[in-house]
Structure 1
Amino acid sequence: MSSVRILAIEHENGTGPQRFGQWLEEAGADVVVTRPYLGEEIPGELLVRDPQGAERGGTGAFDALIVLGGSAGPSDDADNPWFPQVRDLLRESIRGEFPSLNICLGGEMLALAADAPISRRAHPQIGIYELGATSAGESDPVFGSLAGERMPAVLFHQEEMALPDGAALLITGSDAPVQAYRLGDFAWGTQFHPETDARQIARWLDGNDLALPAGKTEDSIIVEVEAADGELVARGRRLATAFVEFLRSR
């Protein structure tokens, strides 16, 4: 069974790939995390392959890119000077140069790279929300792994993205309807977090100055994430496996 290498970009401490990275590795991927906020470099090019796996160009050593979440907005370049480079990479993914899977802030950066509007919500979404696949999602080679049932998912965001022109809406739900989408053949973005758990959510809540959603407390959010953990694990593992299988099929 062939292995694939995935580059993950972590934007700040405490926002790494977490168990999603473990599930990718269980499925046969080698996940390499780069942390530009610590001065680590982002490769300028990723490996580009044709459908038979032969190299077409590029000097990188990765089959795919994952852009992770964080507290910044997708255009907060002054405090995150590597953001323009990330958006340039995502434009390459949209053009079909390599696959990418982009989570929350990463999904917002993908949308911004495609010139979709990003807005600030009056109230953040934090905790468990019920989502579901669209018909396009059910037939998607990666997000089809989540089709067929309503699913609980973790949201933790105040920025909200519109669906980019030409994108396929894959997962929807809540009053932030763009929860996962695909641009081109294999540039995916999510608003929800498939990687997180109650322990990480507790760290994000600690000292965070976001107003909590109406009727929720920090304790109640942690409890609802803990209660959904079995389903979160099952679906997150399916998504990670589907992504690796897609990369291997190329």
Structure 2
Amino acid sequence: MRVAIIENTRYSDPGQVGVALAEAGAQVEVIRAYAGEALPGSPDTHDALVVFGGEQNARDDDKHPYLPQLAALMRAYGEADKAVLGICLGSQLLARGFGGDNLIGAAPEFGWQTIEPTAAGLADPVLVAAGARPFLSFQWHDDTFSLPPDAVHLAGNQSARHQAFRVGRAAYGMQFHFEAHRGVVETWNALFPDLVERKQPGWLARHPEYAATQGAQADAAGLAIARAWVALI
């Protein structure tokens, strides 16, 4: 099982997705697209594609000229019936690749938040693995997207109607950071304390309480989702 992971920032951490891929014995190639490393030329080189988040928005082509190519590559993997996973920025790029609109600054959200599966989400082999309706997951974003044509709407919440979708068999876009277990969140707190406080004043002081309750629930749901997606590869 060969899996390409595309990083859009130097601060990427595969988190729960990395755990699930390791359990499955996947051969992982990490490509630092933000640093100029070349993207795969076609879907033939890997069995699955993972695209993580980043500080940029999905239309920031002037500063990050590889973004159109990455969006097209995600579509190519999906159309080849290979498993695709886009998280946060990755979900926005997947939406772009399949013809959705990117809505910049339209849905700011931060912290462990509720995700509500749709009826289709409750029947989906990946989303149903979360176990609860609703479930909790970590959020850190400002942008959102419209659903691409023919996409299946899998989840939403009050901040962003489109939190998860699927195109075809196994191309998934998830706005929420289900990969971010509590260790990843602690690292982000340490790296970006000023940004965190601007997003939600006082959150750092309350973080230990949130981590013990909301974080524990989100960790369980996130690992279950990651394992379910890896099973589709």
Question: Gapped runs of 5+ residues in structure 2?
Answer: none
- What are the within-5 Å matches in structure 2 for residues 159-174 of structure 1? 159-174=143-158
Q: Answer whether contact 2:196 2:203 (CA < 8 A) is retained.
A: no
- What are the within-5 Å matches in structure 2 for residues 235-250 of structure 1? 235-247=221-233
Identity of aligned residues (%): 30
- What are the within-5 Å matches in structure 2 for residues 136-215 of structure 1? 136-196=120-180, 197=182, 198-203=185-190, 205-208=192-195, 211-213=198-200
Residue 220 (structure 1) shift: 4.9
Higher alpha-carbon Rg? 1
Residue 123 (structure 1) shift: 6.3
Q: Answer whether contact 1:180 1:191 (CA < 8 A) is retained.
A: yes
The amino acid of 2:95's aligned partner reads A
| Residues 34, 132 of structure 1: alpha-carbon distance in 2 compared, 3 angstrom cutoff | same
| Residues 123, 149 of structure 1: alpha-carbon distance in 2 compared, 3 angstrom cutoff | closer
Q: Answer whether contact 1:127 1:222 (CA < 8 A) is retained.
A: no
Match of 1:43 among 40, 44, 51: 40
Deviations 1:201-234 (CA, angstroms, capped at 9, x unpaired): 3146434399425xx4341563424532222221
- CA-atom RMSD in angstroms: 2.2
SS in 1 for 2:232: helix
In structure 2, what is the Cα distance between the partners aligned to 1:186 and 1:19? 18
In structure 2, what is the Cα distance between the partners aligned to 1:203 and 1:14? 12
In structure 1, what is the Cα distance between the partners aligned to 2:152 and 2:106? 26
Deviations 1:3-35 (CA, angstroms, capped at 9, x unpaired): x22111001111231342123212332332111
Provide the aligned length of Structure 1 versus Structure 2.
229
- What are the within-5 Å matches in structure 2 for residues 1-250 of structure 1? 4-47=1-44, 60=45, 62-121=46-105, 124-196=108-180, 197=182, 198-203=185-190, 205-208=192-195, 211-213=198-200, 216-220=201-205, 222-223=207-208, 224-247=210-233
| Residues 77, 207 of structure 1: alpha-carbon distance in 2 compared, 3 angstrom cutoff | farther
Query: Which deviates further from its counterpart, 71-80 or 18-27?
Result: 18-27
Deviations 1:42-78 (CA, angstroms, capped at 9, x unpaired): 211123xxxxxxxxxxxx1x11000100110001112
| Residues 210, 219 of structure 1: alpha-carbon distance in 2 compared, 3 angstrom cutoff | closer
Q: Which has the higher helix share?
A: 2
Deviations 1:178-217 (CA, angstroms, capped at 9, x unpaired): 111001222110110011132133146434399425xx43
Query: Which deviates further from its counterpart, 224-233 or 10-19?
Result: 224-233
SS in 1 for 2:105: strand
In structure 2, what is the Cα distance between the partners aligned to 1:87 and 1:22? 25
In structure 2, what is the Cα distance between the partners aligned to 1:207 and 1:102? 27
Residue 97 (structure 1) shift: 4.2
In structure 2, what is the Cα distance between the partners aligned to 1:221 and 1:147? 26
